[in-house]
């Protein structure tokens, strides 16, 4: 699980400009699922070999005309709550505003690392103007210009310098599947967990969270042993009604990153909405296993909507990653809960699956010979060898004489064939074409 960095600050100080700059380098790699637009507010970055996630807490209120102080305050609070490190962005052109003071007051109370980022320091003159930000009482600051990029190297050095040390997971933790129940508020996550676990909860051990009050709890149910991730955070409800997307995404990021398989709960009475899709892509981008549970199925009039129609509608929204199990459940009547758990375990197994190289070559090379990549500008691509990489999640490499001539459509063809022949249901796959 990577360190989570939240960018906070009032509007127009340059948070999203900085966010884009931080994640730009990684964009192409992270968005391995082609044709999908990147989440504007959440991304991954890396500096000196250290990976981290970045959340732009301001992105969600972009475009709204009336931005209330209280709302910004709530976002900052949630950012502080969910992140490991906070970047507090201020604007040298404006100086310290009353709202900056408000935010600083919140940040002075916490023990997590805070980096004050003085933005829009586009020239040497403005370096002097930055002095006043010492008055925020948050110690040293870093000056940057997000538009030109100057100072961002120093900022990143400082950032990884303050990263909290996370203990290495124990062998037991590594071996137990970690499941996270995610979804928009009121989808039925807590009901599902309670129904699955029962009143006495079958808790075996509690492993205290390292950076906050979250807990991984080990369960032993129906013959399966697993950890449920961050259920404390999920049970601790967001009290706010507005900005559900922001809250559900923020609450989900940590749970998703910490899991092997995400159980995405969808409210059947509302359908698969934008927020569900955001969370789905969050999981897919993080290469997590995914299963979709359409909950509250007891409330749906079966005459108007069959499971088949409903499923087809959802699957359309998942394109191009449609190889995902969708189950119709009810946490209330406990319908198909055991099945849901069985299928979740299956996704976990699929994600760990390793295909022997000889078997993989036998199958794929024959197929590639029959359906070679289309020739481009009179050049023929030859693929002579392929294998699954020894990575924690399924990644496949194909060695070709002209890798740059292999287009995404052909990669998708390869992926589909792999999925037809081996069960990778619910598991994102990466395909790489490399020069041999």
CB of 416 to ligand GDP, least distance (A): 33
Question: Which of 113, 169, 185, 271 is the binder for ligand GDP (CB under 6 A)?
Answer: 185
Q: Tell me which H or E stretch contains 391.
A: none
- Tell me the per-residue interface mask from 372 to 411 with ligand GDP, x by CB under 6 A, - otherwise: ----------------------------------------
Cα-trace Rg, the chain: 24
Q: What are the distances in angstroms from CA 214 to CA 6, 226, 262? A: 18, 16, 17
List the interface residues with ligand GDP, window 76-135 (CB under 6 A): 119-120, 122
Question: Which of 81, 158, 298, 317 is the binder for ligand GDP (CB under 6 A)?
Answer: 298
Is 143 a binding residue for ligand GDP by CB under 6 A? The answer is no
* Contact indicator for 290, 261 with CB cutoff of 8 Å: yes
Is 349 a binding residue for ligand GDP by CB under 6 A? The answer is no
- Kindly give the interhelix angle for 15-30 and 152-162, rounded to the nearest 10 degrees: 80
Question: Which of 5, 6, 15, 258 is the binder for ligand GDP (CB under 6 A)?
Answer: 15
Is 251 a binding residue for ligand GDP by CB under 6 A? The answer is no
Distance of CA 213 to the CA centre of its chain: 20
Q: Which stretch binds ligand GDP (CB under 6 A): 13-21, 29-37, 165-173, 198-206?
A: 13-21
Residues in the chain: 436
- Tell me the per-residue interface mask from 307 to 326 with ligand GDP, x by CB under 6 A, - otherwise: --------------------
Q: DSSP readout, 322-360?
A: ----EEE-BTTTTBTHHHHHHHHHHHHHHHH----HHHH
List the interface residues with ligand GDP, window 326-345 (CB under 6 A): 330-332
Q: What are the distances in angstroms from CA 276 to CA 116, 247, 273? A: 33, 12, 5
The span from the CA of 377 to the CA of 204, in Å, is 62
The span from the CA of 386 to the CA of 373, in Å, is 15
CB of 19 to ligand GDP, least distance (A): 7
List the interface residues with ligand GDP, window 144-183 (CB under 6 A): 145-147, 183
Under the rule (CB under 6 A), what is the footprint of ligand GDP?
A: 9, 11-17, 58, 119-120, 122, 145-147, 183, 185-191, 295-296, 298-299, 330-332
């Amino acid at each position: 699980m990577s360190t989570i960095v939240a960018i906070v600050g009032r509007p127009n100080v340059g948070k999203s400009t900085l966010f884009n700059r931080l994640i730009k380098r990684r964009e192409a790699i992270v968005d391995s699922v082609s044709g999908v637009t990147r989440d504007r507010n959440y991304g991954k970055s890396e500096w000196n070999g250290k990976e981290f996630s970045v959340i732009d807490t301001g992105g969600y209120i972009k475009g709204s005309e009336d931005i209330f102080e209280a709302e910004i305050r709530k976002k900052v609070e949630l950012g502080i709550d969910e992140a490991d490190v906070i970047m507090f962005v201020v604007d040298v052109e404006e100086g310290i505003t009353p709202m900056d003071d408000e935010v600083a007051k919140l940040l002075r109370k916490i023990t997590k690392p805070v980096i004050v980022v003085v933005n829009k320091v586009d020239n040497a003159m403005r370096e002097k103007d930055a002095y006043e930000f010492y008055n925020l009482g948050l110690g040293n600051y870093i000056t940057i210009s997000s538009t030109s990029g100057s100072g961002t190297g120093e900022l990143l050095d400082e950032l990884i310098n303050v990263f909290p040390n996370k203990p290495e997971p124990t062998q037991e933790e590594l071996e137990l599947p970690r499941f996270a129940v995610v979804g928009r508020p009121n989808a039925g996550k807590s009901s599902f967990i309670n129904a699955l676990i029962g009143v006495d909860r079958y808790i075996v051990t509690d492993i205290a969270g390292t950076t906050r009050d979250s807990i991984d709890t080990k369960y032993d149910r129906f013959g399966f042993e697993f950890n449920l991730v961050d259920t404390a955070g999920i049970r601790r409800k967001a009290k706010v009604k507005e900005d559900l997307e922001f809250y559900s995404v923020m609450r989900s990021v940590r749970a998703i990153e910490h899991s092997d398989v995400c159980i995405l709960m969808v409210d059947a009475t509302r359908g698969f909405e934008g927020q569900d899709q955001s969370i789905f892509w969050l999981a897919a981008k993080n290469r997590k296993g995914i299963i979709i549970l359409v909950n509250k199925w007891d409330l749906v009039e079966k005459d108007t909507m069959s499971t088949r129609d409903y499923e087809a509608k959802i699957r359309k929204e998942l394109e191009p990653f449609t190889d995902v199990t969708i189950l119709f459940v009810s946490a209330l009547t406990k319908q198909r809960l055991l099945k849901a758990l069985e299928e979740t375990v299956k996704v976990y197994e699929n994600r760990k699956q390793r295909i022997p190289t000889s078997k993989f070559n036998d199958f794929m090379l024959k197929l590639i010979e029959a359906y070679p990549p289309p020739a481009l500008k009179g050049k023929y691509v030859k693929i002579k060898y392929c294998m699954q990489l020894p990575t924690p999640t399924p990644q496949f490499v194909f060695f070709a004489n002209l890798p740059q001539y292999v287009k995404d459509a052909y990669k998708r063809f390869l992926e589909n064939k792999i999925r037809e022949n081996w069960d990778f249901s619910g598991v994102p796959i990466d395909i790489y074409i490399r020069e041999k």
